[in-house]
């Protein structure tokens, strides 16, 4: 994929799911200052094609602009935020291919989308680099320079010639609703909840005491992993800890019907008073402790390495 193509894809998300083909030509002026062609932005936008539902596009923007969510990996002051611009809302994503052959950062504000690719022209691996340590820095500096340069202020204006508000516009079909804090599913009574955005006609399809077949396989793998410290293991155990003291219900997501899949033994109902790195009992309705802010799972900086005590029937 070419950088211009990926950047245009992000522009579609930034435009609430409306696709506008990129056009590198703004105007053509012949000798004598005769304008042969000039891009009519308003007309182009009127012909935009809605290829992604506005609500889904906004959810993606909401995820990509959540600096707190990525702070555990990148830190809270990564190049993906713009403090020089008053910390205006910005959505961004980095990427690093195998052997660091491709280093990406693509992101946007409400008035500008920028994509950066770094790598060797012969496709050889780079050394000691990833997207956030390289391409993201270029992306950050370019975003700041463009927004601070008075000579480029006109480029950032909307089709009506007015500045575009910095806040990402929320589609009317987006609502806020509580979900289970550990699983992201529909909460059951007693479950700890957080508020998330979702389409009015969408949202989680399963309760937090229900799992689909894929999640059941993941949970089996998590319980079989020593100390349950793989990324998938931690996520699965979080989901397991959120289930009340009974077997989870395995559901066919498409048909919303229970499946005759063997159930998992219920977790113990009494939390371990003083969990240690070598012994941990999964408490009901309590997520497995996570590493503190700025730490990576499994890097030894805080957190508990749980050893799952439940076992599956037949194992």
SS3 241: helix
Predicted confidence (pLDDT) at residue 168 exceeds the cutoff of 50: yes
Predicted confidence (pLDDT) at residue 33 exceeds the cutoff of 70: yes
Q: Which helix (H) or strand (E) holds 250?
A: strand 249-252
What is the dihedral sign for C-alpha 260, 262, 267, 268? positive
Residue bearing tokens 């955005």: 197
Q: What distance in Å separates the CA atoms of residue 227 and residue 279, rounded to the nearest whole number?
A: 9
> Which pLDDT value is given to residue 13?
97
Label residue 297 by pLDDT band (50, 70, 90). very low
Strands 210-211 and 249-252: parallel
Q: Of 116-130, 137-151, 211-225, 247-261, which one has max mean pLDDT?
A: 137-151
Label residue 231 by pLDDT band (50, 70, 90). low
Average pLDDT of span 155-184? 90
Give the number of other CB atoms < 10 A from CB of residue 20.
15
> Which pLDDT value is given to residue 131?
79
Q: What distance in Å separates the CA atoms of residue 215 and residue 275, rounded to the nearest whole number?
A: 26
Average pLDDT of span 220-231? 62
Measuring CA to CA, which residue among 231, 252, 230, 240 is closest to residue 287?
240
Label residue 49 by pLDDT band (50, 70, 90). very high
Lowest mean per-residue pLDDT among 47-61, 81-95, 215-229, 251-265:
251-265
Measuring CA to CA, which residue among 163, 167, 154, 147 is closest to residue 85?
147
Total length of the chain: 315
Q: What distance in Å separates the CA atoms of residue 89 and residue 66, rounded to the nearest whole number?
A: 9
Label residue 169 by pLDDT band (50, 70, 90). very high
Give the number of other CB atoms < 10 A from CB of residue 314.
5
Measuring CA to CA, which residue among 281, 271, 282, 275 is closest to residue 303?
275
High-pLDDT (> 70) share of the chain, %: 70
Give the number of other CB atoms < 10 A from CB of residue 44.
13
Predicted confidence (pLDDT) at residue 172 exceeds the cutoff of 90: yes
Predicted confidence (pLDDT) at residue 288 exceeds the cutoff of 80: no
Measuring CA to CA, which residue among 124, 117, 121, 122 is closest to residue 101?
124
Residue bearing tokens 């059951």: 188
Predicted confidence (pLDDT) at residue 105 exceeds the cutoff of 90: yes
> Which pLDDT value is given to residue 240?
60
Measuring CA to CA, which residue among 19, 158, 145, 12 is closest to residue 91?
12
Between 203 and 8, residue with greater pLDDT:
8
Measuring CA to CA, which residue among 74, 127, 78, 132 is closest to residue 103?
132
Distance of CA 291 to the CA centre of its chain: 19
Predicted confidence (pLDDT) at residue 271 exceeds the cutoff of 70: no
User: Following CA atoms 234, 236, 241, 246 in sequence, which dihedral angle do they give, to the nearest 10 degrees?
Assistant: -160
> Which pLDDT value is given to residue 285?
28
Label residue 290 by pLDDT band (50, 70, 90). very low
Average pLDDT, the chain: 76
The CATH superfamily of 3-156 is DD-peptidase/beta-lactamase superfamily (3.40.710.10)
Chain segment 73-94, per-residue pLDDT in tens? 888 889 999 999 998 999 999 9
Q: Of 52-66, 190-204, 228-242, which one has max mean pLDDT?
A: 52-66
Q: Where are the domains of the chain?
A: 3-156, 180-315
φ and ψ of 293, to 5 deg: -55, 140
Q: Assign residue 227 a region (left: φ > 0; alpha: ψ between -120 and 50; beta: otherwise).
A: left
Predicted confidence (pLDDT) at residue 72 exceeds the cutoff of 50: yes
């Amino acid at each position: 994929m070419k950088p211009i193509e990926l950047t245009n894809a992000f522009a579609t998300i930034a435009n609430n799911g409306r696709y506008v083909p990129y056009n590198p030509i703004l105007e053509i002026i012949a000798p004598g200052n005769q304008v042969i062609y000039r891009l009519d932005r308003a007309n182009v936008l009127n012909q935009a094609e809605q290829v992604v539902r506005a609500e889904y596009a906004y959810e993606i923007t909401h995820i990509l602009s959540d600096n707190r969510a990525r702070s555990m990996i990148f830190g809270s002051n990564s190049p993906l935020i713009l403090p020089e611009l008053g910390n205006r809302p910005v959505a961004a994503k980095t990427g690093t291919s195998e052997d660091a052959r491709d280093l990406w950062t693509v992101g946007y504000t409400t008035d500008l989308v920028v994509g950066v690719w770094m790598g060797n022209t012969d496709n050889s691996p780079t050394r000691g680099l990833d997207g956030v340590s390289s391409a993201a820095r270029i992306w950050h500096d370019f975003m700041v320079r463009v927004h601070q340069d008075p000579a480029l202020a006109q480029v950032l204006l909307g089709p009506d010639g007015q500045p575009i508000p910095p806040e990402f516009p929320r589609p009317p079909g987006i609502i806020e609703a509580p979900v289970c804090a550990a699983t992201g599913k529909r909460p059951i009574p007693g479950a700890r909840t957080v508020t998330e955005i979702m389409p009015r006609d969408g949202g989680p399809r399963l309760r937090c005491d229900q799992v689909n077949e894929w999640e059941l396989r993941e949970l089996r793998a998590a319980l079989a992993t020593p100390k349950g410290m793989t990324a998938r293991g931690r996520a699965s155990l979080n989901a397991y800890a959120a289930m009340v003291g009974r077997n989870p219900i395995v559901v066919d997501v498409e048909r919303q019907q229970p499946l005759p899949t063997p159930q998992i033994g219920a977790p113990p109902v009494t939390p371990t008073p003083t969990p240690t790195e070598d012994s941990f009992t999964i408490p009901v309705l309590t997520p497995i402790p996570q590493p503190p802010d700025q730490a990576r799972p499994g890097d030894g900086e805080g957190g508990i390495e749980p050893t799952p005590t439940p076992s599956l029937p037949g194992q």
